[in-house]
Amino acid sequence: MEQDRDTSARPPAPHIVVLGSLNMDLVLRVATAPVAGETCVGRSISAVPGGKGANQAVSCARQGARVLMIGCVGDDDHGRAMRDALARDGIDTSALRTDTTLPTGTALILVEDNGQNRIVIIGGANGGLQLDASELRAQLAGAAFLVTQFESPMAQVELAIMAAHEAGCPVLLNPSPVQPIAEALWPMIDTLVLNEVEAHALTGLSADAPEQAAAAGRALHARGVRRVVVTLGAQGAVAIDAAGERHHPAPAVRAVDTTAAGDTFLGALATELASGASLDDAVRQGIRAGALCVQQAGAQPSIPRREAVLRSAPLPHLSLLPSDWTRP
C-alpha cells in the first residue's frame, strides 16, 4: 500500500526562478455572480496581492524554496504593495522591473458563496516585461527550475523557455491563460502543469474526469514533455510520465475561495520536485497544499506554509489508472 513519504526532513532549500505576472486582485464577494443584464448587491470588496506568477513564487517560498521573481510592476501603490508582499516572504525581488508608463496589473475577481470564482485580468505593467537573454542565463545558473505561465507577453515567455533549455535549467510551465504552444517548445518543457480546461484546449480531448485527463495528458506527453500533471480540482490530479498514468484523489473539503489553488499546488509540486521527490510524492504534496488554500479567502493570504501542509491529513491512496481502458 502506498504511504505518504516523510517529507519533513530534506536537503538545503532549492533555488527556483519564477517568471510571471503580478496583479493586485480586486475581490468582490457575491452570493452568486450576476447574469447578463442583472445587477446584484455584493457582500464585500478587498484588494489582495495576486497574479499567477507572484502566487506561484509565494507558494514556492512558503514551501521552503529560495525564490527569484522576474516580472514587471507599475510605478504606483499597487506595484509597491506587490513588491513588499513578495519581500515579506523572503523572495528576491531584485529582478522585478518598474514600468513608469503602465499601471500594475489588476485582476477583477468575483467569488461566489460556493467558493467558485470568475477572473478578468488587465495585464498593465505585466505587458511591459522585457528580458535580457544574457542576464536571464545568469539568473538561471544553478536554479532547479524556471517556473512560468502565460500572463506575461508570449514572446518573453518563449525567450525564457529557450534560455532555460540552453542553460540546462528544467522548465516547469503552467500554460494559463491557455494559448497555443509552438511545436519547437514542447520538448523544452520538463514538467507541464495544467487544469482540465487547459488540457482540453491544447488537445481537443475532454479532460474533466481522471481517465479522460490521463488520455489528454498522454497526448501532451507524446509531444515531448517529460512529465504532465493535469489538475482536476476536487477530483485531485493525474500524473503522467514515461511510467504511465496515476490518479491522486483530493480530500473532501469545504471551499471558501478557490483563487490561487492551482498556483499553490504548483508551488508545492515544484519545490518538492526540486528537493528530489518523486512526481507522485510531489503531486500529493501539491494536492494537500491546494486543499488548505481553498479553505481560506484571497490569493496570497490563502497559500499555506510547508509546516501546515505537513500537519494536514494524509491523502487517500493513489489509484493506478487501468491503462488498457484509457489508451485510445
CB of 53 to ligand RIB, least distance (A): 8
CB of 114 to ligand RIB, least distance (A): 17
Query: Can residue 147 be called a binding residue for ligand RIB (CB under 6 A)?
Result: no
Q: Which residue has the cell 514515461?
A: 242
Residue 324's alpha-carbon distances to 195, 211, 215, 242, in angstroms, are 24, 11, 11, 15
Q: Which residue is nearest to ligand RIB (CB)?
A: 50
Contact predicate 27/42, CB 8 Å: no
> Footprint of ligand RIB on residues 261-320 (CB under 6 A)?
262-263, 299
Between residue 107 and residue 146, which ones bind ligand RIB under the rule CB under 6 A? 107, 119, 121
Residue nearer to ligand RIB on the CB measure, 28 or 162: 28
Residue 84 annotated in active site: no
Number of residues that bind ligand RIB (CB under 6 A): 16
> Cα separation of 251 and 188, whole Å?
33
> Is residue 296 classed as helix, strand or coil in its secondary structure?
coil
Write down the catalytic residue from 84, 263, 280, 324: 263
Least distance to ligand RIB, CB of residue 52, Å: 4
The stretch among 127-135, 221-229, 257-265, 313-321 that binds ligand RIB (CB under 6 A) is 257-265
User: Rounded to whole angstroms, how far apart are CA atoms 136 and 127?
Assistant: 18
- Residue 226 CA, chain-centre distance (Å), reads 18
Give residue for cell 485531485.
236
Pairing of the two strands 23-30 and 15-19: unpaired
Binders in 48-67 for ligand RIB, by CB under 6 A: 50-52, 55
How far apart CA 286 and CA 265 sit, in angstroms, is 4
Residues with a catalytic annotation lie at 263
Rule CB under 6 A: which residues touch ligand RIB? Answer: 21, 23, 25, 50-52, 55, 107, 119, 121, 151, 259-260, 262-263, 299
